[in-house]
Amino acid sequence: MWLLIWTLLLTERLCEGGKPPVPDRYNITIYPAEITVQTGLCAVISCTFTHPDKFQPKDALWFKCQDEGCTNKKEAIFSSEQPSNVKEDYRQRVSLLERDLSKKNCSMIINSINENDQGKYQFRIKFKASGYTYKDKVNITVTDLTQKPSVLIPALTEGETISMTCIAPGFCSGRPPSITWRWRRPGDNTTEFPDNTTIQKIENLTSVNTTHLSTLTFTPSAEHNGINVTCQVTFNEKIKTEETVTLNVTFRPPVLSGSGCVVQAGVMTCVCICQGVPVPLIKWPVLNNVTEYNLTTSVSGSSVTSTISLPVRNQTNNSVVCVCKHGGDNSKGTRANLNITQEGTNKNQTVSIVKCENAVIPWTVAGVFLSVTVVLLIYLLTDAYRKVQGKNRKPKEEESTYISLETKDMSQDDYQVISKRPI
């Protein structure tokens, strides 16, 4: 009985030695098994496989099935060992993401997908004397191209050079698409590009995919506000997609006539009028150096008026800067030098700002001091004049007697002393 059992086991092992590799030791994982790709883009198939360790892979192949069961009719679309022995339409469009077959990675990418690429695909590994075709398949469905390019536009400010970027849809490393720009004013069919426009195309290569993009560099002005810019991407010279954007240019608000500065009685008053949408902000750099001033602001429609008043003294300044701008402190605006004139004249008045903590008290003290000085000076001059006149006058003889003898409010003792004379 034991002899029969050992005989059966030995016979089974001998038979196994003459059989091909057990299929259960060949496994493949494809993710996802169903892929939908838009025309012109690329399909990336994630794939890993296993095989008996005693075999060394020599060639990796991908086939496209020509029948529903993918049993008989197959066409090789990729071969790592013989790339020329594949279907011509797939040459240089299909590649493995990992060329080292010992890493057991069968992931592939198909670039520039077209409607003929729709179908099922199957992977096969070849060894020196044998090979194995994995039964799991991936199904690719091809649809029309609906994805649009991405157009990136920074904030547009009049006079500031910027670069707009158009990124082609998909991240394919195959044949670069054609990227073109169109520039059209509303209601106009003509294409116009500014003289200072520069177009550049860039291909950002990576190990797996490529980003195709184009940049449009120009300096916007207020006239470019509302212009339509279109970026068109063409795949395989016939598959097109585009995106249109409208430019929104923020122009520097102008300083209007009527702005200026006037000096009167030691006080300077400046008015700055600006116009813009949205209503701009008005800044006075001169106020950074003083603490005593008055500031008022009024808005009427799209215009804003700012008025400042502050004490001044004659020095060297002949203008005051007014800044009109949109946005915060980092935004650029319109700088205007407002001429300073003296009240009642047309001549420019040179002034400088009085830097003081309290502007009222110093002026009051100065006025009082000046008044006292004038009064004192008049008094001294009058007194000096009277003295000079008194010295220059010669009295008469009678007046001289009265002057020398007459005394007011004299006491009796004083009189006796004057009248007595020694013998």
DSSP 8-state secondary structure symbol assigned to residue 86: S
Domain with CATH 2.60.40.10 in the chain: 23-143, 150-250
Q: What is the pLDDT of residues 179-231, one digit of tens each?
A: 999 888 777 766 666 666 677 766 665 556 678 899 999 898 888 888 999 99
Contacts of 299 (CB under 8 A, 6+ apart): 279, 305
pLDDT of 409 over the 70 cut: no
- pLDDT category at 335 given cuts 50, 70, 90 is confident
**Rounded Cα–Cα distance for residues 111 and 95 (Å):** 9
Residue 401 pLDDT grade (very low, low, confident, very high; cuts 50, 70, 90): very low
Nearest to 194 by CA among 181, 203, 207: 181
The architecture of the domain spanning 150-250 is Sandwich (2.60)
Rounded Cα distance between 272 and 252, Å, is 15
Q: Which is it for strands 178-184 and 156-157: parallel, antiparallel or unpaired? A: unpaired
Q: Averaged over 238-262, what is the pLDDT?
A: 90
Supply the pLDDT for residue 406. Answer: 39
Could you please state the CATH topology (level 3) that the domain comprising 23-143 is classified under: Immunoglobulin-like (2.60.40)
Check if the beta carbon of residue 295 is closer than 8 Å to that of residue 308. yes
What is the predicted pLDDT for the residue at 183?
87
**Tens-digit pLDDT profile for residues 128-139:** 989 999 999 999
Phi and psi at 154, nearest 5°, equal: -75, 175
Q: For the structural domain made of 260-353, what CATH number should be given? A: 2.60.40
pLDDT (0 to 100) of residue 391: 52
Average pLDDT over residues 238-261: 90
What does the mean pLDDT of the chain come to?
77
- Nearest alpha-carbon partner for 305 in 295, 313, 314, 315: 295
Structure tokens at 370: 């000046």
Contact 122, 62 (CB under 8 A): yes
Q: Per residue in 79-135, pLDDT tens?
A: 999 998 899 999 989 999 899 999 999 999 999 999 999 999 999 999 998 999 999
Residue 165, H or E segment: strand 162-167
pTM given for the model: 0.60
What pLDDT score was predicted for residue 160? Answer: 86
- Taking residues 253-272, report their average pLDDT: 91
Strands 260-264 and 267-275: antiparallel
Asked whether the bond before 169 is cis by omega within 30 degrees of 0, the reply is: no
CA distance 421 to 423: 7
Please determine, for residue 352, whether its predicted confidence score (pLDDT) is greater than 60.
no
Main-chain phi, psi angles of 42, to 5 degrees: -130, 160
> Is residue 376's pLDDT more than 90?
no
